[in-house]
Amino acid sequence: MTIRLLLRLFIFGLFFFSQALPAQGLFGGSLKKGFEALEQYDFFKAKNIFTKKLKRYPTAANYGLALIRYDKLNHFHSLDTAFIRIEKADSAWSMLDPGEKVSLWDYGISDTSLSGFRDRILLAAFREAKSKNTPAAFKHHWSFFADSPFIEEAKSLEIERAFFIADSLNTSTAMAAFIGNYPEAEQRTEAEKLLDDAIFREFTSDQTEKQFAEFIIQYPKSSHKGEAEDALYSLLVIEQSVDELYTFVKRYPNNRNADQAWELIYYDYTADQRVESFESFKKAYPEYPYPERLKRDVRLAASSLYPAANGDLWGYVDSTGKVLLTYQFEEAWPFSENLAMIRLDDKIGYINKAGLRIVKPLYDDGEPFNSQLAIVEKEGVYGIIDARGNVVLPVEYDMVSGPENEFYQISKDDLYGFADKQGQIRIKPQYENTDDFSEGLAAVTQNGLVGFIDTLGSVVIPFRFDVVLPFEFGSARVMLNDMVGLIDKSGNELIPINNDRIGSFQEGLCRVTKAGKCAFYDRNGKEKIGFKSLCSSPVLGVDGFSEGLARVEKSGRKGYINRDGKIVIPIEFEESGYFSSGLATFKKRRKWGFINTKGKVVVEAKYDEAFTFSGSLAKVKKAQVYGLINTSGKEVLPLEWDEIVQDGDFYILKKEGKMKLIGSDLESLTELIWDDIRRTDNKEVFRLSIGNKLALFHTITKRVFWEENNLDKPD
């Protein structure tokens, strides 16, 4: 039984017995209002009511708070707190006399419901621990949730996850710590074997070139020979400079990294794929061992490449459809910064336009390069590599995301921090949560409260808020004790934190709601339009000003005010939207049309649906089909389409299961024969498909330039 169904049963019981009980009931009318608020999903109101009634009605109030904390769809969600509350409710229940217990039945509270709800909390808590999938989460479950039926399973999963992490770190310290923490673990034998691998590391403990070179000579058949060769490469090629790479290939020509070193030298010279760069390389390194590759790459220099499939394999074609990199990859992605991600042997690597594997396929997953760095994943942990395949952030983090505003967010052991765009740790993982930097500040959470730090990690605004949004134009919206306001970068309140709601800034003003009235403030916290009883609940983002007007509401009808707060379009519409291209949608008699900023009807209300203008066109719907109108209301694309989806300057039309592509000038670019049309990561190319066969359409040449073999087009 879901939490909402349970709440509805509560409310049903309350109304069923409302005539049989006194007006306030044995436990008070305000308590009943708390459960009614829950039925309306007004968690703020319900929480306030139940909190105030904890001392007087501990069973019902704690039960209500447990329901709130259990519901994961509101920001009060906390299974720890829900468990504490249900335990308190159960304890208080045991102290009630039979008559009091009977009275609580009306709220759905009984021995059975308390026990059942406690079981659901324990199940949800265990599922939450499994979703986090960390040793700390599993340990918390079996140590915090008393008498949980999942204690033994949680202990087992804790050990499994701890071993997985230790194995991923692959250090003697980590493995020794695992054995010490879990001496009876069934993985102990395997852990002890992994410790034996330290022999190689001990032999090369000084990590010198001499040690690794001698190791290769003395143990040519060792399974660690490759590691020693890699170590030599790392020692000699510290900065990845061309001089270092060239010294390396001269000194160790038989090293397994020699080819990679040549490729990196090659890439360093030719990363921009210009003919002049290839000629420069040829003059600088006449002994380059692959002259035929050099000749081929000169031909590729001026070509744009696009991923294309042939059966289960992928390759790359140019804008004429010619295959330039053969079908050889299990997956292929578009080029980004002259590198493309490919999958080979179920591993991710990166190639350049010549097909050279600049980053060998080593990873389970990855992302395109961004500012010469890419996020990669291996065995469930993440790191960052550079355009030569060097690991600049160790692949050992639970999460790496970004970059946003020059920083990556990183996470380890359920703590969060930041790395910069060079992959260097700037703020070590130490916070319960982090948001991206915005205007030089990032929101971070400590002990359940939110504050702001700067890019050096200094706390600029203390930890005191419940919820915050990022800084925009020098201010940020914050919540404290269920009330909201606006602060500046010093934490000063520009708009007092005593309001019910604060909208986003639109055209320099934000809507503030308090006690059922609304006002508008500027970014400096100055009230520009005073509080009035003309509030409008936000629909589709319609919360502030657009083209100088803001929507307001009275008695369920909508109209508009100007920046002086004057009603300039009467409050007479059933519904309305925001202005774009000088027009806004409105609804009358259950039909939609468009008005201009003067309130004049430009398009009569005759459509079943109408959508905001994008440029000079808007999508409309009538009798289950769609079309496009212009700003004069003329139907420039007939209403005959099952769906219309805009993608930049193009529209994808669908009818009877087939699709076609048109431009913003409504020119037909493809026939109505395709099963699917979607933009690729190359913004200038759309992917078309019939069945499981693909084709590529170029938006500049406006033609299909490549089709998969045996593409079955209809006649």
Predicted confidence (pLDDT) per residue in 64-93, tens digit: 999 999 988 778 889 999 999 999 999 999
Percent of the chain beyond pLDDT 90?
Answer: 68
pLDDT value of residue 24: 35
Rg of the chain over CA atoms, in angstroms?
32
Q: CATH number, domain at 512?
A: 2.40.128.630
Percent of the chain beyond pLDDT 70?
Answer: 94
- Contact, 338 vs 349, CB < 8 A? no
Residue 585 lies in a domain: no
Q: What is the mean pLDDT of residues 207-224?
A: 85
Query: Residue 538: pLDDT band by 50, 70, 90 thresholds?
Result: low
**Cβ neighbour number for residue 142 with a 10 Å cutoff:** 20
Residue 216 lies in a domain: no
Q: What is the mean pLDDT of residues 311-330?
A: 93
At residue 142, does pLDDT exceed 70? yes
Q: Is 505 helix (H, G, I), strand (E, B) or coil?
A: coil
pLDDT value of residue 715: 63
At residue 592, does pLDDT exceed 50? yes
pLDDT value of residue 272: 55
- Contact, 704 vs 693, CB < 8 A? no
pLDDT value of residue 273: 57
Task: Indicate the residue type of 143.
Answer: S
pLDDT value of residue 1: 42
Helices 151-169 and 172-181, axial angle in degrees (round to 10): 160
- Residue that is written with structure tokens 């406690």 in the block: 118
Bigger pLDDT: 621 vs 537: 621
At residue 152, does pLDDT exceed 80? yes
- The residue among 551, 578, 605 that closes a domain is 578
Q: Is 125 helix (H, G, I), strand (E, B) or coil?
A: helix
Query: Residue 198: pLDDT band by 50, 70, 90 thresholds?
Result: low
Residue 643 lies in a domain: no
Residue 46 lies in a domain: yes
Residue 526 lies in a domain: yes
pLDDT, tens only, 467-477: 999 999 999 99
Residue 456 lies in a domain: no
- The residue among 132, 166, 189 that closes a domain is 132
Per the structure, the count of domains in the chain is 2
Name the least confident of 270-279, 551-560, 691-700.
Answer: 270-279
359 strand-pairing partners: 350
Q: What is the mean pLDDT of residues 191-218?
A: 82
Residue 97 lies in a domain: yes
Query: Residue 11: pLDDT band by 50, 70, 90 thresholds?
Result: very low
pLDDT, tens only, 249-282: 999 988 999 999 998 898 788 765 567 888 899 9
Query: Residue 510: pLDDT band by 50, 70, 90 thresholds?
Result: very high
Count of CA atoms in the C-beta half-sphere (13 A) of 312: 4
At residue 387, does pLDDT exceed 90? no
User: For residue 171, what are the contacts with CB-CB under 8 A and spacing of at least 6?
Assistant: none
At residue 103, does pLDDT exceed 90? no
pLDDT, tens only, 596-627: 999 999 999 999 999 999 999 999 999 999 99
- Residue that is written with structure tokens 């707060």 in the block: 565
At residue 496, does pLDDT exceed 90? yes
pLDDT, tens only, 388-407: 899 999 999 999 999 999 99
Structural domain that includes position 74 = 3-132
Q: What is the mean pLDDT of residues 445-459?
A: 97
pLDDT value of residue 540: 44
Query: Residue 196: pLDDT band by 50, 70, 90 thresholds?
Result: low
Q: Is 32 helix (H, G, I), strand (E, B) or coil?
A: helix
- The residue among 578, 604, 624 that closes a domain is 578
Residue 173 lies in a domain: no
Checking phi first, is residue 224 left (phi over 0); if not, alpha (psi -120 to 50) or beta?
alpha
Query: Residue 199: pLDDT band by 50, 70, 90 thresholds?
Result: low
pLDDT value of residue 23: 30
Q: Tokens representing 485?
A: 């306001």
- Contact, 355 vs 325, CB < 8 A? yes
Q: How far apart are CA 567 and CA 101, in angstroms?
A: 55
pLDDT value of residue 18: 35
Q: Mean of the per-residue pLDDT values for the chain?
A: 89
pLDDT value of residue 174: 87
Q: What is the mean pLDDT of residues 205-221?
A: 87
At residue 219, does pLDDT exceed 50? yes
Q: How far apart are CA 307 and CA 335, in angstroms?
A: 9
